[in-house]
Amino acid sequence: MAERRRKMKVLPFARYQALLLIPLGLVAGIVYAFGGLILDALVSLGWMNSDETPGLSYGTVLAFGALIGMPVIFAVFGFLTGILEALCFNLFGRWFWNSDIDLHHEN
């Protein structure tokens, strides 16, 4: 009996990957923004010397753009890699005949 070849739906999987990476991007944005704030505050207070940052400045405020920018960048990256992963699975899936991936998109 011939086994039915599994196919993964590309766009639903890509959306799933994007949604998985949004929280990771938010965490990375929080670490970047608040880590930079703490570093700049320490330099401004004189508790730390740095040649790379003048302390609290306009750049510190711009770093908080990472709270929006990083989740967006991570989502786009997740979407693109999700497309690539699903296409690779569909192309090379016959070698993974024993996999139990079952992604159905039902409306």
Domain boundaries of the chain, sorted by first residue: 13-95
Closest CA to 78 of 19, 23, 38: 19
> Would the pTM of this model clear 0.95, i.e. be above it?
no
Q: How many Å apart are CA 15 and CA 19, to the nearest integer?
A: 6
Give just the sign of the alpha carbon dihedral 14, 16, 26, 31: negative
Task: Report pLDDT digits (tens) over 55-107.
Answer: 677 777 888 888 999 999 999 999 999 999 999 988 887 776 555 566 666 65
Q: How many Å apart are CA 92 and CA 97, to the nearest integer?
A: 10
Instruction: Kindly indicate the confidence band of residue 1, based on its pLDDT and cuts at 50, 70 and 90.
Output: very low
